[in-house]
Amino acid sequence: MTRAGLAALAVLALGLSACSSSSADGGSSELTVFAAASLQRPFEQIADDFEADHPGVTVRFSFAGSSDLAAQLVDGAPADVLATADERTMGTVEEAGLLAGSPQAFATNSMTVVVPKDNPARIRTLSDLQGDVDLVLCAPQVPCGAAAERVEEASGLTFAPVSEEAKVTDVLGKVTSGEADAGIVYVTDAEGSANVGTVEIPDEDNTTTTCPVAALAGSEHRDLADELVAAIRTDAAGDGEGHLEAAGFAAP
């Protein structure tokens, strides 16, 4: 084959290689979102809508206790967006210089007592959580545990939990399985479960937590991360049509 022919083949091969690489990538992007366990249901719905509006984009979640997520990020775990169940936990990530901008409040939550459907301990009021009751709470460093401590302080009661869990869904799981007589969880978690009963916490004893969201400075897809943050905030302001409001979250 002539030198000109070989050169033409080389150019063709390079062109095919470039086309193959472009096809393999397909313009696809993957966003990793670290989010509090209490946000799982509405966030998965928001992600479905986001993916439908952004062909080729996949949103991957890591749901866990907010303090665990913050610790993972500080230790170097990669992610694009962080949403926590309270502002204090988000503050630890901000102080570490890991946020791309100021965190944005998008929802609020409050607390309630959950009991098994048959309520074997006959819990009727918040004060019934004292005494011979198998009470489960989140650990104090977790937002739902810190909120339970504020309820305890405001009510003047003394709680003696038999276990302290790393995330609110673990508290809910122990109550629904009958391993515990009661637990204190977010109102939204109770509303999302058909397997528990609830005991209302009086307004004067209850507490409200604010959920913030932010894009992370280390994101490789900053524009998309910012768009997802905006989509979360837009859903929260959905005037009765948003996934967050449907799940029981209130506006900040």
Positions at the binding site for molybdate: 38, 66, 168, 186
Residues 6+ apart with CB under 8 A from 72: 34, 62, 64
Residues 6+ apart with CB under 8 A from 22: none
Pairing mode, if any, of strands 29-36 and 57-64? parallel
Instruction: Answer whether 199's CB lies under 8 Å from 217's CB.
Output: no
Binding residues: 38, 66, 168, 186
Mark out the alpha helices in 39-186 (DSSP H runs).
Answer: 40-53, 66-74, 87-95, 143-155, 168-176
Residues found in the chain: 252
Question: CB neighbours (10 Å) of residue 123?
Answer: 20
- Residue 48: half-sphere exposure toward Cβ, Cα within 13 Å: 7
Pairing mode, if any, of strands 182-186 and 163-165? unpaired
Which secondary structure element, helix H or strand E, spans residue 122, and what is its range?
none
DSSP letter, residue 208: E
Residues 6+ apart with CB under 8 A from 34: 61, 62, 64, 69, 72, 73, 77, 79, 81, 82, 83
